[in-house]
Copies of this chain bind each other. A is one copy, B any other.
Amino acid sequence: MQRRKFLRNAGVGTAAVATTGLVAAPAIAQSAPEINWRMTSSFPKSLDTLYGGAERIAKIVAEATDNKFQIRTFAAGEIVPGLQVVDAVQNGTVEMGHTASYYFFGKDPTFALGTVVPFGLNTRQMNAWVTQGGGEQLLNDFYKNYNIYGIVCGNTTAQMGGWFRKEINTVEDLKGLKMRIAGLAGDVMSKLGVIPQQLAGGDIYPALEKGTVDAAEWVGPYDDQKLGFAKIAPNYYYPGWWEGNAAFHVFIGLDKWNALPKNYQAILRAACADTNNWTAAKYDADNPKALRVLIASGAKLLPFSQPIMEAAFKATNEVYAEITAKNANFKKVFDSMMAFRKDEVLWFRVAENTFDNFMARQSAAGKL
Contact = CB atoms under 8 A, between A and B. Distances in A.
A67 B90 CA distance: 32
Contacts of A284: 124-125, 127-128, 132, 344, 347
Interface in A4-59: 16-17, 19-20, 23-25, 27-28, 31-32
A81 interface: no
Contacts of A157: 124, 351-352
B345 A368 contact: yes
Contacts of A159: 351
A127 B238 contact: no
Given A64-B64, A285-B128, A291-B347, A358 B24 contact: no
Copies of this chain in the oligomer = 2
A101 interface: no
A241 to B, nearest CB: 7
A309 interface: yes
Interface in A327-368: 338, 340-360, 362-364, 367-368
B131 A281 contact: yes
A157 B132 CA distance: 15
Nearest to A66: B31
A270 interface: yes
A266 to B, nearest CB: 4
Contacts of A346: 288, 291, 363, 368
Nearest to A291: B347
A153 to B, nearest CB: 11
A345 B278 CA distance: 19
A354 B267 CA distance: 37
A65 B263 contact: yes
A346 B289 CA distance: 10
Contact of A241 (B124, B238, B241, B358): B358
A280 B352 contact: no
Nearest to A289: B343
A301 interface: yes
Given A20-B24, A277-B127, A278-B131, A266 B351 contact: no
Contact of A64 (B221, B266, B277, B358): B266
A85 interface: no
**Shortest Cβ-Cβ A-B pairs, 9 listed:** A273-B274, A132-B285, A63-B266, A270-B270, A128-B284, A288-B347, A31-B66, A20-B25, A288-B343
